[in-house]
Amino acid sequence: MPKKATAQETALKSVRKMLASGKLKPGQQIIQDALASRLGVSRVPVREALKTLQAEGRVIHDPHRGYFVAELNAEDLSEIYHLRSILEDEAIRIGVPKATPADVVAIKGFHDEGLAAAAKGDVNQMATLNRKFHMAIYRLCNEERLITMIENLWDSLDAYRVLFLTDSSNRERTNDDHAQMIQAVKQKDVKESLKIQSAHREHALKTIKHLLSAFAQTD
Amino acid sequence: MPKKATAQETALKSVRKMLASGKLKPGQQIIQDALASRLGVSRVPVREALKTLQAEGRVIHDPHRGYFVAELNAEDLSEIYHLRSILEDEAIRIGVPKATPADVVAIKGFHDEGLAAAAKGDVNQMATLNRKFHMAIYRLCNEERLITMIENLWDSLDAYRVLFLTDSSNRERTNDDHAQMIQAVKQKDVKESLKIQSAHREHALKTIKHLLSAFAQTD
DNA sequence: CAGTCAAACTTTGTATAAAAAGTTTTTATT
DNA sequence: AATAAAAACTTTTTATACAAAGTTTGACTG
C-alpha cells in the first residue's frame, strides 16, 4: 500500500494545483492561516510547502510580510523561454535518436488523448496531456536532472498556460504541431524535431506576451 | 542599516557554509535538533532552511527519517557537468561579446586575488575567488535566471570542489586557465572562451571522478 | 543460536501559543 | 484639513510541546 503522505506533501500538491488552475493568481498574497485552515492542517507544513515553491521561483517571500504568487513580466517570460529552448533542444538532441517504436506509441497515446480532451472542450485536461506529451519526448534523453529542470520551467509558466489554451486557434495549432512532431520523432529526425519545437515555443511565447500586455492594461 | 535577518535565513547561510566546507559530509544525516541547538534557534526555522536546500538538490529528504546530505555518484557528476556546459556555454555566447574594459578589470581582479590566496596556501579563499572569477564572466550575459541556475549547479559541487583544489597541480592548472580566459574575454573571442572553459571543466570532471572512485574504495 | 516480537528510545512531524514585525485605523496636534 | 503619533489589528515568525513514525535493543521462542 502507498504509505501515508505527510501534511507538507499534501499541502505542496494542493498549492501547486491552485497555482496551475489560477485559484491563486500572480501577485496575490498567500495568507498562511487561511491556506492552512482551508487544507485542514497547521501553518507549519504550509510554510514548508511554500519554501519549496519559493526555491522553484513560483512564489516570492518577503520576510515578515509573507509569500506572494510570483508575477512574470515580459522579460521574465523571455528568459524562461530562452532557458527552455536551451535545455529542451539539448534533451531532443540526446533523446530523439534513441526513440524506440514503443516510445513513439506512448507519445502518440498522449496526443490522441489530447485530441479527445479537445473535442470535449476540457481545457484543463488538454493542458495536462499537452505537458505529458512534451515531457515524454524530453524524457527520452534519460538525464534525470535535465528533465527536472525542464519540468520546473514548465511549472513556472503554469499560471499563464491556461491563458494560452483558452483561445481555440491556439488549441488547434498545438494539435497540428504535435502531429508533425510525432512524425519527426518516429523518423529520429533531430533537425526537424528541433525546428518544430522551436516554432511551437516561439508561437506560444509571442501569444502569451501579447495576452499579458492586453491583461496589464486592464489592471 | 541592514535589517535583521530571520532565523531561517541565518540557518540557511550556516548550513550552506557547513556543506561547502565539508563540515557536513555527503550521505550524512542532518539531525535537526542538534543543528538547531548548535545555531541557537528552534527546529522550525532549521527545517525551513533544509526545505530550500532540498529543492536545490543539496539534501535529500526521506519523510519520517530525515534530511541527508546529497551524495553524488559518477553519473550525477556527469549530469551536473553536462548541464553546466549547456548553460555556461550559452552564458558565454551571450555575455563575452558584451564585455567592457571595466568588466575585464573586475574579472582580472578576482584572478589576482586568487593568485595571492594561492601563494598563501589558503585553499578555502581560493575556492571562493575561483567561483567569483567564473561567475563574473557568466554574469556578463545579464540573464538573471540563467545565472541563478549556474550558481545552483556550482553549489551542488561545493562538497567536491575542496577535494579538487587540495591537489597543488590542479591549483596551478586552474590559475593558468584563468589567465588564458582573461585574454579571450578581453578580445571578445567567444569561440576561444568556449574552448578554454570546456577544457577547464572537462579536466575538473575527470579529476573529481577519479578522486571520487579512489575515495569510494576506502569506504 | 537465529529469528521474531515488543518495549524503550530517538528523531521527525505538526499543532498551538506567544513574540515580533508590519499594516491600518484612530486620535491628537498644528 | 493635513500630518504625526499612537493604538489596534493583522499576519508572520519562532519556541515549545505533544504526537507519530522509525530505529535499536533485548528478551523470548523455535
Quick: pLDDT tens for B101-120. Answer: 999 999 999 999 999 998 89
Interface contact A145-B51, CB threshold 8 A: no
Using the Cβ of B66 and the Cβ atoms of chain A, whether some distance falls under 8 Å is answered with no
Determine what percent of chain B is predicted with pLDDT higher than 70. Answer: 97
Which of A51, A63, A79 faces B52 most closely, judged by CB atoms? Answer: A51
pLDDT-derived band at A72, boundaries 50, 70, 90: very high
| Minimal C-alpha gap between A60 and chain B (Å) | 13
If you average pLDDT over each of A1-5, B17-21, B135-139, B165-169, which comes out highest? B135-139
Element (DSSP H or E) covering residue A46: helix A43-55
Which of A10, A52, A145 to probe by mutation at the B interface, max B CB count within 10 Å? A145
B62: nt with nearest C1' to CA: C12
State the pTM of this model: 0.92
B96, three cell numbers: 563575452
Beta strands in chain B (DSSP E): 29-30, 59-62, 66-69
Question: Which residues, at least 6 apart from B89, have a Cβ–Cβ distance to it below 8 Å?
Answer: B194, B197, B198
Using the Cβ of B151 and the Cβ atoms of chain A, whether some distance falls under 8 Å is answered with no
Of B205, B198, B200, B154, the closest CA to residue B177 belongs to B200
Beta strands in A9-113 (DSSP E): 29-30, 59-62, 66-69
| Minimal C-alpha gap between B5 and chain A (Å) | 8
Q: Which CATH architecture has domain A7-69?
A: Orthogonal Bundle (1.10)
Contacts of B63 in chain A (CB under 8 A): 5-6, 9
Q: Which residue is nearest to nucleotide D15 (CA to C1')?
A: B42
Q: Which residues touch strand D (CB under 7 A)?
A: A 3-4, 29-33, 43-44, 47, 61, 63-67; B 6-8, 41-45, 48, 63-65
Using the Cβ of B142 and the Cβ atoms of chain A, whether some distance falls under 8 Å is answered with no
Mean pLDDT rounded to a whole number for chain B: 93
Task: Return d(Cα B12, Cα A91) in angstroms, integer.
Answer: 32
Which of A60, A75, A86, A153 to probe by mutation at the B interface, max B CB count within 10 Å? A86
Which of A51, A86, A145 faces B79 most closely, judged by CB atoms? Answer: A145
Using the Cβ of B87 and the Cβ atoms of chain A, whether some distance falls under 8 Å is answered with yes
Class for the domain spanning B74-217: mainly alpha
Q: Count H helices, E strands: chain A?
A: 9, 3
Interface contact A9-B63, CB threshold 8 A: yes
| Minimal C-alpha gap between B202 and chain A (Å) | 18
Among A88-92, B78-82, B169-173, the least confident range: B169-173
Which of A52, A79, A145 faces B143 most closely, judged by CB atoms? Answer: A79
CA nearest to B82 within chain A: A146
pLDDT tens-digit map of B141-200 = 999 999 999 999 999 998 888 778 888 888 889 989 999 999 999 999 999 999 999 999
Interface contact B47-A52, CB threshold 8 A: no
B13, three cell numbers: 547561510
CA angle (A97 as vertex; A95, A99 as ends), nearest 5: 70
Task: Return d(Cα B92, Cα B175) in angstroms, integer.
Answer: 19
Question: Which residues, at least 6 apart from B47, have a Cβ–Cβ distance to it below 8 Å?
Answer: A48, B32
- The answer on pLDDT for A2 being more than 70 is no
Phi, psi torsion values for A6, nearest 5 degrees:
-80, 165
Mean pLDDT rounded to a whole number for chain A: 93
For chain A, give every domain's residue range: 7-69, 74-217
Using the Cβ of B149 and the Cβ atoms of chain A, whether some distance falls under 8 Å is answered with yes
Contacts of B143 in chain A (CB under 8 A): 79, 82
Give the strand pairing for B66-69 and B59-62. antiparallel
CB A26 within 8 A of CB A70: yes
| Minimal C-alpha gap between A219 and chain B (Å) | 26
Distance, Å, B69 CA → D26 C1': 32
Which of B54, B64, B145 faces A80 most closely, judged by CB atoms? Answer: B145
Overall average pLDDT of the B44-59 stretch: 97
- The answer on pLDDT for A69 being more than 90 is yes
B29: nt with nearest C1' to CA: C11
